[in-house]
Amino acid sequence: MDFSESFRTSGPKPAFSPNGRYVATVVEYRLIIRDVEHLRVIQLYSCLDRIDCIEWSSNSNYVLCGLFSRGIVQVWSVDSPEWTCRIDEGPAGVAAVRWSPDGACILATADFGIRITVWSLLDRKCTYLRGPKHVGAGLAFSADGSHLAVLERTEGKDWAAVYDTRTWGEAAHFTLPTADAADLAWSPEGGLLAIWDSCLSYKLALVDARSGAAVASYSAYANEALGIKCVSWAPRGELLAVGSYDRCARLLNHLSWTPLLEAEHGRSLAGPAGLVVYREESDEPVGPGQAQAQAHGRSRYAIAPLPAALPFSKPPLDSPAPKLGVGRCAWSGDGRYLATLEDSAGACVWVWDTAAMELAAVLVQLAPVTDLAWAPRGATLALVAGSTKVHLWTPAGASIVHVPLPDFKAHGCSWNPTGTALLLLGREAFCCAYLTA
């Protein structure tokens, strides 16, 4: 890997443009557009106040900046720097903002979820949608961008509204078989909505997005225990991964909606036969009480013999959000592999082979994993652990790459859409890593 120098950033996470050519970063109230290949500054814009969020339009020509403290959204053009747009929501405020899939409209969610306003950049008109149940969740576009689904709560019941994004008219509106819906996700082909309850009730509902008719319902166990923590569709929609508080990720098939695999995250591993456990080992001797120095020093992966014990911590069960259960399910670009994180074993990453329906690898780090990301194509997994290293896994093996920048510790990572650059995010700086042949 080749590495760029580091550049200052603050506020929202840097964002790659959909065409993979640019990266947008924020330094307080300034929006900076750089080219990905050399990280040269292409455009520099000054907003009216501190920037809370940024997002690219689908055509990579515009970037919106949410200034939530002022209830304002500012939009900038990469190709025409003299063009600008300002949206002021007034007393309603702005709690969340996003582009429509065609890049022609901006959706602003008001404070307290009072309403959603759709602002058209083409004719300068606005359309009001009913207030969502959640501000940061429960709103999703279909894969083709033709419809928007929004969770609502009315008279003590959960509802889903589906809007046609061409006219923003209501295409469907139906009640849901959930007690307290937490979020929803479209199937990749756009015909189904997966909707799941809050952690207090284990229930996953599959409904027809056009009629609201129940297609299937799944509950792994009774409601005496905490339920679903995350849900993720496979890229082609043939599998649905459901991470739960019982330290298990279940892969439901799209025909019977029953588990093909119950991926348990146990404290010890004895198989299957093809399983490889990569354990990070320090190359530098350290004394007792120097675990942090060990995590940031030079290290390498060693293959651990089976059976292998994994480092788990005991979470405080009186916490309102205990670090327990499968909190992350991420699919590889080719849809074959699923990476999972079990929150009470933060230093471990499990990689499951869905073709063989078995565990393929486990990576054990010296420090808790803070982020991971699959390359957009193929099966290359990158992960970071708040250290001076990047951890990589492919079906051929695993490796550790040391970042050659003084005092740079990577807490976040993301690939550009073409898979040629990996952005590494530190506390107040970022850099890019480029794959070499």
Least confidently predicted of 12-16, 95-99, 170-174, 290-294 = 290-294
Non-local CB neighbours of 89 within 8 Å, separated by 6+ positions? 71, 72, 73, 108, 110, 117
pLDDT of 352 over the 80 cut: yes
Q: CA 178 to CA 200: how far, in whole Å?
A: 11
**Cis peptide before 272, with omega less than 30 degrees from 0?**
yes
CA distance between the termini of the chain: 9
Give tens-digit pLDDT for 391-413. Answer: 999 999 999 999 999 999 999 99
In the numeric block, which tokens belong to residue 259?
């588990």
Cα–Cα nearest to 146, from 186, 203, 98:
186
For residue 117, the model assigns a pLDDT of: 98
Residue 65 dihedral angles phi and psi, to the nearest 5°: -125, 125
Segment 367-390 mean pLDDT: 97
For residue 292, the model assigns a pLDDT of: 57
Q: CA 92 to CA 185: how far, in whole Å?
A: 27
For residue 371, the model assigns a pLDDT of: 98
List 196's β-bridge partners, or say none: 183, 204
pLDDT band at 106 (very low <50, low <70, confident <90, very high): very high
All domains in the chain, ordered by first residue: 10-124 (2.130.10.10), 267-437 (2.40.128)
Q: What is the DSSP string of 306-334?
A: SSEE-------TTSSS-S-SEEEEEE-TT
pLDDT band at 328 (very low <50, low <70, confident <90, very high): very high
For residue 222, the model assigns a pLDDT of: 82
Segment 209-222 mean pLDDT: 95
> Is-contact 350 344, C-beta < 8 A?
no
Q: Cβ of 11: how many Cβ atoms within 10 Å?
A: 18
pLDDT of 300 over the 90 cut: yes
> Is-contact 354 338, C-beta < 8 A?
yes
For residue 225, the model assigns a pLDDT of: 84
> Is-contact 374 330, C-beta < 8 A?
yes
pLDDT band at 65 (very low <50, low <70, confident <90, very high): very high
In the numeric block, which tokens belong to residue 273?
């036969």
| Ramachandran region, residue 367 (left: φ > 0; alpha: ψ -120 to 50; beta: rest) | beta
For residue 204, the model assigns a pLDDT of: 98
Q: CA 365 to CA 341: how far, in whole Å?
A: 12
In the numeric block, which tokens belong to residue 135?
């501000």
Residue 343 dihedral angles phi and psi, to the nearest 5°: -65, -25
pLDDT of 343 over the 90 cut: yes
Maximum CA extent, the chain: 67
Q: CA 229 to CA 329: how far, in whole Å?
A: 10
> Whole-model pTM?
0.93
To the nearest 10°, the Cα dihedral for 341, 343, 347, 353? -20
H/E run at residue 85 = strand 84-88
For residue 216, the model assigns a pLDDT of: 97
Least confidently predicted of 232-246, 278-292, 394-408 = 278-292
For residue 178, the model assigns a pLDDT of: 96
Give tens-digit pLDDT for 136-186. Answer: 999 999 999 999 999 999 999 999 999 999 999 999 999 999 999 999 999
Residue 122 dihedral angles phi and psi, to the nearest 5°: -85, -45
- The three-state (H, E, C) secondary structure of 256-308, written as one string: CCCEEEEEECCCEECCCCCCEEEEEEECCCCCCCCHHHHHHCCEEEEEECCCE
pLDDT of 297 over the 90 cut: no
Give tens-digit pLDDT for 355-364. Answer: 999 999 999 9
Segment 316-326 mean pLDDT: 83
Residue 216 dihedral angles phi and psi, to the nearest 5°: -165, 165
Q: CA 297 to CA 213: how far, in whole Å?
A: 56
pLDDT of 279 over the 80 cut: yes
For residue 285, the model assigns a pLDDT of: 65
Considering the chain, what percentage of its residues have pLDDT values greater than 70? 97
pLDDT of 77 over the 80 cut: yes
Listed in sequence order, the DSSP H helices in 132-271 are none
List 309's β-bridge partners, or say none: 268
